Amino acid sequence: MLLIECPWCGGRDETEFGYGGQAHLSYPDDPHELSDERWAEYLFMRDNPRGPFAERWVHSAGCRRWFNVLRDTATNEITASYPIDAREPVAR
């Protein structure tokens, strides 16, 4: 079981959280301008790195807030958790 640090509530069991996939994806400024290929890329294609990965989590059994987590996909080590509107931490 992962222990995830909620920026507001502190460390809690993984079972209290929901997963939201890759973080820091922004909606295209003008979706009508995109080709079908680019649109499909935005909708479906996600990074799948081995190593540090910024991803969204929601503390659904607690404060019900979305936030971002920097997790190493190889070791499951969580190095940072930060509010949804904060920038991705640079130091890895």
Partner 1 sequence: MAVDVTQLRRSPLGHRYRELEELSALAPQATLAEEPPCTQLNLRVRPGSPPLDRVERALGVALPSRPNTVCESVDGRYATLWLGPDEWLVVAPDGTAEPVCNALNTALNTALDGGPGSVVDVSANRAVLRLSGPAARDVLETGCSVDLHPRAFGPGDCVQTMLARAQVVLWQRDDLPAYWILVRSSFADYLTDWLCAAVRAQTRGR
To the nearest whole angstrom, how small is the minimum distance from the Cβ of residue 64 to partner 1? 6
Considering only 13-21, 28-36, 43-51, 84-92, which stretch makes contact with partner 1 by CB under 8 A? 13-21
> Look-up: residue for tokens 């400024």?
29
Cα angle 52-62-75, degrees, rounded to a multiple of 5: 20
Within the chain, strands assigned E span 3-6, 10-13, 18-22, 52-58, 66-72, 78-83
Question: Of the listed pieces 11-19, 28-36, 37-45, 48-56, which binds partner 1 according to CB under 8 A?
Answer: 11-19
With CB under 8 A as the contact rule, the residue among 64, 76, 90, 91 that binds partner 1 is 64
